[in-house]
Amino acid sequence: MSKVIAQLIAGEWTESRSRELIEVTDPATQEVLVLAPKATHEEIEAAIASAKETFLSWREVPVSERARLMLRYQHLLKEHHDELAEILAKETGKTFADAKGDVWRGIEVVEQAANIASLMMGETGENVARGIDTASWIQPLGVCVGITPFNFPAMIPLWMFPLAIAAGNTFILKPSEQDPMTPNRLAELFIEAGAPKGVLQVLHGGREQVDALLTHPDIRAISFVGSVPVGQHIYRTGTAHLKRVQAFAGAKNHMVIMPDANKDQVLSNLVGASCGAAGQRCMAISVAVFVGEAKNWIPELAGQMAELRPGSWNDPHAAYGPLISQQAKQRVQRLIIEGKAEGAECLLDGSHCTVPGYPDGNWLGPSLFRGVTTKMGLYREEIFGPVLVCMEVESLADAIKLINDNPYGNGTSIFTSSGGAARHFQHDIEVGQVGINVPVPVPLPFFSFTGWKGSFYGDLHAYGKQGVRFYTETKTVTSRWFDESPVSGPNMTIHLK
C-alpha cells in the first residue's frame, strides 16, 4: 500500500487518524505516488489552537530575527532547488525545467520576505495639532490560512506563508490534494531553517477541510488561488464569517498582435505562452487577437505549434508534460469537440495525442482554432490546457473593446513596435497585469500580483507591498506629552521639566 503523507500540527509531523485517503497519482503513468489524508475535525482544531497560541509569542519576536529566518530559509531552498523541482515534476507532470522555474519564483518571494523590516514601517506626523504627534504602526493579524492549487505547488505556497509569517502571523497551509508532496517538503525545509514549533501548520484534505477553516472564529485571513467557482465560494464564505479574504480565480488572457510587430518574436512567444506547462497556468495566453494584416501569420503559427511534443518530466526534448488528471483532460477534450460543433475552424487537434512508453498519461497535443466568436465555449470558458484560439479584428480599438468586455482581467499583452499603440493599450485596457512585448507579464515580488474583475475577489493582492498589507493591521497612535507631569512611585515623586 502507498505511503500516507504526514501533516504538520503543533510543530510535529504526525500521521492522520483519518480513514479518508486521497490518491495522489503520477499524471504520466497513473501510478499512485502517495495517499493524502483528509484531516479530521480534531486535527483541524489542534492545528488552529497551536497556531493561535504560538502567535502570542511569535508576534513579539523582533522583526530582524524574523527576517533572518527567511534568509536561512531561502538559502536552504536554493540548496535543495533541484530536489524540490524533481518532486514537483513527478507529481505534477511538469518538465524539469518548468518545475525548476516554479521553485525559483517562490524563492524570489522568500527573498522579498527577508526584507520584511522595511515593509513593516509605519508613518509619522509631528505637530498634527499643538504639541500632538501621530504615528502609525504595522502589526500582524493572527492566524492566517492559505489554500493553494495544483498547478504551482511550490511558487504559490511560497507567495503566502513566508510573507505572512515574516510579518508576525502564524499560518495554516492547506495545499492541493492533487500534489501535496512538494508543499510538505517546503515545510520540512522551513523547520530546518529554524522556524519555531507552531508557526506553520500543514493540513491535507478537500472541501470539508477548507470549509472548516473558512468558518472557524480563530482564523483572521484567508489566501486562495484556484478556479472561479471555488474562488467565489471561498470569498463569499470567508467574508460572511467576517474574515479578510484574497481569492485569485480564473482568467482568459488575450495577446494582441499588431501588424507592425516582429513576426518571429510574436510566434515564438505565443507558442510558449499558450502551451507552456500544458496551458495549466492562470497567466497562460489562451486568446490571440490578430489586428489587421497580422492575421496572415496564423498559418505559420499553426506550423510552429504542430512541432511541439509533450513528454515525461525527465525528457529534455519535451515541450510540456501531461495534464494533471484524467478529468482535466476530458474537460479540455469536451471543449475541443464543442468548439468544432459550434463552427470554429480547428487548425490543430491534439485530442488524441500519445507519448511512446506512457500509454496511460493525460496527454494532449497542442490545439489551435480560428474563427472563434465570443459566444463559443472555447472563448467563454477557461480551458486550462494547451489550446489557443485566434480572433481577428480590424483595429487596436476593436481589440481593446474585446478584452474589456471579457469578464476576466488577470493578464494581457500587446506585441507592437509602436510606442503610441503600446501607451494607448496600457492606459485603456481594463486588466490588472499588462505586458508590452512580454507575453506573460507576471510581476517580480517587489511588485504585487494584481488580477482584476472576475479574476480576483478582494481588495489587497498577493506578495509585494499589498501582500504585507493584507497580512497586517495598521494601528494609529496619537500622543501628547506635557511639559511638567508628576511621575509617582511608591517612595518618591519626580517632576519632569
Cα separation, 384 vs 250, whole angstroms: 9
Q: What is the pLDDT of residue 494?
A: 46
Query: Alpha carbon of 304 to those of 293, 366, 368: distances in Å?
Result: 19, 10, 11
Q: Helix, strand, or coil here: 472?
A: strand
Q: Residues 128, 47: one domain?
A: yes
Q: What is the pLDDT of residue 360?
A: 97
Q: Residues 242, 316: one domain?
A: no
Cα separation, 140 vs 146, whole angstroms: 16
Q: Residues 328, 366: one domain?
A: yes
Q: Residues 152, 267: one domain?
A: no
Q: Is 303 part of any domain?
A: yes
Q: What is the pLDDT of residue 177?
A: 97
Q: What's the structural domain count of the chain?
A: 2
Q: Residues 348, 472: one domain?
A: no
Say if residues 137 and 474 touch (Cβ distance below 8 Å): yes
Q: What is the pLDDT of residue 486?
A: 58
Which CATH number belongs to the domain containing residue 284 in this structure? 3.40.309.10
Say if residues 283 and 410 touch (Cβ distance below 8 Å): yes
Q: Residues 202, 65: one domain?
A: yes
Residue 346: active-site member: no
Torsion of CA 476, 465, 248, 474, to 10 degrees: -10
Structural domain of 111: 7-250+451-477
Q: Which residues contact 83 (CB under 8 A, 6 or more apart)?
A: 185
Cα separation, 344 vs 298, whole angstroms: 14
Q: What is the pLDDT of residue 428?
A: 98
- Amino acid 173 reads L
Q: What is the pLDDT of residue 497?
A: 41
Spans in the chain with pLDDT lower than 50 = 492, 494, 496-497
Other Cβ atoms within 10 Å of 354 Cβ, number: 11
Q: What is the pLDDT of residue 111?
A: 97
Select from 376, 310, 316, 369 the least CA-distant residue to 345.
369
Q: What is the pLDDT of residue 462?
A: 95
Q: Residues 93, 239: one domain?
A: yes
Say if residues 220 and 244 touch (Cβ distance below 8 Å): yes
- Out of 144, 282, 353, 390, pick the active-site residue: 282
Say if residues 361 and 355 touch (Cβ distance below 8 Å): yes
Say if residues 403 and 289 touch (Cβ distance below 8 Å): yes
Q: Is 70 part of any domain?
A: yes
Q: What is the pLDDT of residue 213?
A: 98
Q: Residues 304, 418: one domain?
A: yes
Q: What is the pLDDT of residue 492?
A: 47
| Residue 141, Cβ density class (10 Å: 0-12 exposed, 13-18 middle, ≥19 buried) | buried
| Residue 306, Cβ density class (10 Å: 0-12 exposed, 13-18 middle, ≥19 buried) | middle
DSSP letter for each residue of 33-70? EEEEE---HHHHHHHHHHHHHHHHHHTTS-HHHHHHHH
Each residue's pLDDT tens digit, 387-399: 999 999 999 999 9
Say if residues 115 and 101 touch (Cβ distance below 8 Å): no
* Strand 253-257 relative to strand 285-291, pairing: parallel
Q: Residues 215, 293: one domain?
A: no
Q: Is 335 part of any domain?
A: yes
Q: Residues 246, 260: one domain?
A: no
State the pTM of this model.
0.95
